[in-house]
Amino acid sequence: MIDFLNNNYSIKFGKHGQNIIINKIDKEYVTKLLTSDNENLESRIATIKIDQISINTHFFWDKQIEFDIEPREIKKILDYEKIVDFMYKISEVIDKEVILTGENQIEFPLIKVHAMKNKIEVLTKNEAEKLWK
């Protein structure tokens, strides 16, 4: 997935809040971060730019990839389509379902995408109301 992102998107990678940033994800560093017990390794953030939309990923755990977006950056249907397209491409690369949720609401999937099953599901208003009950 890192190779795919590096080859297909404009990326900034570095320590959160610092000016030391490179223009690709350092795959070797991330692999070491996720697979070693070295507590001296500092977390890094990757910001993927798709036009005016910033998609951030934090490398916390090797079993789950987390991306976050700022909902205020999604202003048009085209922006929404760009997010779903990004999710679809990531799903193709990792051959797994990709889920968009609200922040810290993993049990509340807003969009589910699974490229190999050619599936895109968007939570409806009625489904949302049932989940919130």
Secondary structure (DSSP) of 42-88: PP-EEEEEETTEEEEEEEEETTEEEEEE-GGG--SHHHHHHHHHHHH
Q: Which amino acid is at 102?
A: G
- Per-residue tokens: 56: 């951030």
Distance CA 39, CA 28 (A): 16
Distance CA 43, CA 23 (A): 17
Distance CA 55, CA 100 (A): 12
Name the pTM for this structure. 0.81
What phi-psi label fits residue 46: left (phi over 0), alpha (psi between -120 and 50 degrees) or beta?
A: beta
Residue 133: strand pairing partners = none
Other CB atoms within 10 A of residue 71 CB: 9
Task: List the pLDDT tens digit at each of the 133 positions of the chain.
Answer: 999 999 999 898 887 666 556 788 988 888 887 777 766 667 778 899 999 999 988 777 666 777 888 889 999 999 999 999 999 999 999 999 988 887 766 777 888 999 999 999 888 888 777 777 6
